[in-house]
Structure 1
Amino acid sequence: MTQQSLATAERPVSRASSVAASAGVGVIAAAIGYLVAYVAVAGEVRDTVGESAAEWKGVAWYFYNAHLVDVRASGEVGAIGGSRGVDFIAQSGSASATLLYVVPPLVLLGVGAMVAYHLEAGDLGEAVLAGAPVTIGYAIVMAIGAVVTESSTEGSFFGIDLSGSVAPELVPAVFLGGVLYPLVFATAGAVLATVLASR
């Protein structure tokens, strides 16, 4: 009786620990995806962005585009302004940039499978509970990244004020890139690993 009540008491702690571990893996997954993007397009970013923005921010814009999130470029000359969505990968045409579209799904499938294996998910329900919390950490990174990668410039030309900014669109960055991608792919990776392990 005492052993059974101890096991019951330990179960929620174990589940909370697994959620925390999966969320931490979500942060790592976002970092891995960004690093792969950096290796793939850093040279191209230097040519495309030049000195108008930091190289690490330019790579992040490609990384967001890899999640199908547009980067919003806006500018204002005096009282006249406008904005447009930019997809750096689509405009690039290079093979290394185009391959970035598969990086987030592959990384998330891999970490989802790893989490399910590490947490010894025994059935589909446990696989979902192992893979889905990856979304927490991934969404946090994507939300913070969308804010810190904004690049702004201001200046004046013959007394006319000029300003411009480039940043990932925040709402799609959080919900499409930060929630939908890991929820689908990390969970699918966890389920796939569990199904293969049970055979």
Structure 2
Amino acid sequence: MTRQRRVSTTRRVSHTTSVAASAGLGVLAAAIGYLLAYLLVAGEVREGLGESVAEWKGVGWYYYNAHAVDVHASGEIGSFGGTRTVDFIAQSGSTSASLLYVVPPVVLLGAGAILAHRLDVRDIGEAVLVGAPVAIGYVVMMGLGAVVTESSTEATFFGIEATGTMGPALVPSVVLAGILYPLVFATAGSILVAVLARRQEE
């Protein structure tokens, strides 16, 4: 009875450790993806947006577009206003910007693969349990990023107030970019390593 209790405790600790590791790697994966985006499009952002928007925010908008998340631009002049969606990558057409589409999947596949390798995963069920929690850290970063990259401006022309706001759509940033992307790609990377490791044992 004591032995069974020890084994059960060890498994719980092991599972807790793997979830913590996965969530931590999710945070790291989001940061690495953003840094790669910065390397790819920072120059284009400087040229296209100039000093009207902070460079790091502009790069963030490209990064969210790479997750299939639209950037919303809204503005009001007096009593008139409107909203439109912007896809900077599609409008750019440059090779470096287009490469951003593969950054999130590749980084997340790598994160899942690293976890499965480090935790010596051999079973598909275990691979899912290891890869899926990457979403915990990733969704925190993507949700927070959607808030901090929003940019607002205010001005007055001839006594008429004009305001404008631009930033990633929050709900898609959380659900699509923060949850679905890591659930699909990080889990796929973890499963792939588990399957390959099992085949090597046979």
Q: Same fold (TM over 0.5)?
A: yes
Match of 2:178 in 1: 178
Match of 2:22 in 1: 22
Match of 1:45 in 2: 45
**C-alpha RMSD of the superposition:** 0.8
Unaligned runs of 5+ in 1: none
Secondary structure, in 3 states, of the residue corresponding to 2:32? Answer: helix
Which residues of 2 match residues 152-191 of structure 1 at below 5 A?
A: 152-191=152-191
AA at the equivalent of 1:95? T
Shift of 1:170: 0.2
CA distance in 1: counterparts of 2:91 and 2:75, whole angstroms: 20
CA distance in 1: counterparts of 2:148 and 2:9, whole angstroms: 42
Match of 1:100 in 2: 100
Shift of 1:120: 1.2
Which deviations, in whole Å up to 9, do the C-alpha atoms of 1:115-160 show, x marking residues without a partner? 1111111200000000000001001100000001000000100111
Shift of 1:63: 0.2
AA at the equivalent of 1:156? T
CA distance in 2: counterparts of 1:174 and 1:114, whole angstroms: 24
Secondary structure, in 3 states, of the residue corresponding to 1:198? Answer: helix
Count of matched residue positions in the alignment of Structure 1 and Structure 2: 199
CA distance in 2: counterparts of 1:120 and 1:24, whole angstroms: 18
1:129 has 2:121 as partner:
no
Unaligned runs of 5+ in 2: none
CA distance in 1: counterparts of 2:158 and 2:82, whole angstroms: 21
AA at the equivalent of 2:102? V
- Give the share of equivalent positions with the same residue, in percent: 67
Match of 2:75 in 1: 75
Shift of 1:75: 0.7
CA distance in 1: counterparts of 2:68 and 2:8, whole angstroms: 43
CA distance in 2: counterparts of 1:14 and 1:111, whole angstroms: 19
Which residues of 2 match residues 106-125 of structure 1 at below 5 A?
A: 106-125=106-125
Which residues of 2 match residues 58-69 of structure 1 at below 5 A?
A: 58-69=58-69
CA distance in 1: counterparts of 2:76 and 2:94, whole angstroms: 31
CA distance in 2: counterparts of 1:98 and 1:20, whole angstroms: 33
Shift of 1:2: 3.3
Where in structure 1 do 4 or more consecutive aligned residues deviate above 3 Å? 1-4
Match of 1:196 in 2: 196
CA distance in 2: counterparts of 1:25 and 1:49, whole angstroms: 32
**TM-score of the superposed pair, with normalisation by structure 2:** 0.97
Secondary structure, in 3 states, of the residue corresponding to 1:83? Answer: strand
Shift of 1:4: 3.3
